[in-house]
Structure 1
Amino acid sequence: MQGRAITRVLMAIVVFMFACSDLRAEVLEIAPAMDTTLFEDEDGRLGNGSGQYLFIGRTWDENGIDALLRRAVIKFDLSSLPRGSTINAASFSITIDQVPPAATGAIINLHSITSDWGEGASNAPGPEGRGAIAQADDATWLHTFWDSGFWNTPGGDFAAEAVASESISSSPQSVIFNSDPSLVAAVQSWVDEPASNYGWILLGDEVFMQNARRILSRENTDSGGPLLTVEYTDPPPAAIPALTTAGLMVLILSLLLLSRTYLLRERLPGNGR
């Protein structure tokens, strides 16, 4: 009976080892925790933290008055991913729902933000392209948190090198930033160091007027809001890294020898056999 018990323990250890080595990738879709537009404004008084739309690029009106820049900022909460997870793939999607009549093709660049920022209760009226008066904690062209926190550089603090870039047409469309090493590395860095996660800033065509874009925000009730899709692998159980291959072999051999010892003792005269 003792030998059988040890054999069962040995089998359980082997099964557990192989189960832990067969860690499978999982897919998680994450909507933004915050998003808003930075409206170029010398006083930094405009926001749209609770608006239905985001804006990027250079705007234009028939009087040529509002030829100003728009930049969208987006942040994701990755706390649902286990610390130590490995990011295998990551993609990011948005929906452009409105373009100017004279729009041309352009490129959207995604950059990592390097300063913390907020989302307030401002909500622009109508099509929302001109913004609203900023409210407490709104990110604006000048402010990280209106009206006391400031960007180091007007228009937002972000890494010079783009994480990803995608070409867009002159029509409304869905845009997908497909998985590539730099995009994966950016998301992995947020998992490894959550305190460094300030999200991304989206830059459109900032040269030509009439080439801005309107994008569905996280508050929009239509489908197609910003979405981060992550394929990841859970971290292995904490005890597994400490058990090396050599250590495992020693454990197995020890159990086998112990099992053999019990079997021999049971067969000795005087043991009722």
Structure 2
Amino acid sequence: MTRRITPSGTEASGAPALINDTTWLYRTADGAGGGLAWNNVGGDYSAFFSASLLTTTTGLQTWSSLGLLNDVRSFALDPSQNFGWFLLGDESTMGTTRRFDSAYSGSVGGIVPRLEIEFTTIPAPGALAWIAVTGLTGFIARRKR
């Protein structure tokens, strides 16, 4: 499941946590066992899921949902609120833990992890279309009189 992160954190650089890394307890760790804490242990995120996916195999995973689309639109309109997503899993049953690599992992089986957003732009109506619609509207309004 993906949920939007609500306040900003920082990207971790490895284990053990270094200065300014994000951890389970801290949005930004100070490297000495303290730092700027999350409001909730494990991180602060939206109450609503952006997407969910049952992962049962290894390899390429694809999420696609209206929630993710709305998140991306929101990030584009206000980049200052783009703190990313948390990937959350129910790991309460043996054998359900999943590992997701990041771009920092390098190539895994020939695949470099990445975020890919596919979209189709809708072309704006051309000037001739607007003239035609305006002229047609004027013709209909004039004829009714």
Is the structural similarity TM-score above 0.5? yes
CA gap of 1:112–1:120, structure 2 versus 1, over 3 A, is closer
Deviation at 1:167, TM superposition (A): 1.3
SS in 1 for 2:103: coil
Compute the displacement of 1:235 (Å): 9.2
Q: So what's the TM-score if we normalise by structure 1?
A: 0.41
Could you report, residue by residue, the CA deviation over 1:229-271 in whole angstroms, capped at 9, with x for unpaired residues? 23153897xxx9xxx759x87xxxxxxxxxxxxxxxxxxxxxx
User: Whose radius of gyration is greater, 1 or 2?
Assistant: 1
Query: Quick one: structure 1 residues 120 and 164, their matched pair in 2 at CA, closer, same or farther if it must change by over 3 Å?
Result: closer
- Matching residue of 2:47: 160
**Superposed displacement of residue 118, structure 1:** 0.4
Matched to 2:3, the amino acid is H
The alpha-carbon distance between structure 1 residues 202 and 120, as it changes in their structure 2 partners (threshold 3 A), is closer
What are structure 1's unaligned runs of at least 5 residues? 1-108, 124-131, 250-273
List structure 1 runs of 4+ shifted beyond 2 angstroms: 232-236
TM-score by length of 2: 0.73
3-state secondary structure, aligned to 1:166: coil
1:74-223 superposed matches below 5 A: 109-121=1-13, 123=14, 132-147=15-30, 148-169=35-56, 171-178=57-64, 180-222=65-107, 223=111
Counterpart-to-counterpart distance in 2, 1:230 and 1:137: 32
Q: Which amino acid aligns with 2:119?
A: E
Give unmatched runs, 5+ long, in structure 2: 136-145
Q: What letter corresponds to residue 139 of structure 1 in structure 2? A: T
* Residue 140 of structure 2: aligned partner: none
State the shift of 1:220 in Å: 2.1
CA distance in 1, matches of 2:101, 2:37: 26
Percent of aligned positions that are identical:
31
Cα RMSD, aligned residues only? 2.5
Q: 1:193 to 1:160 in 2, by over 3 A?
A: same
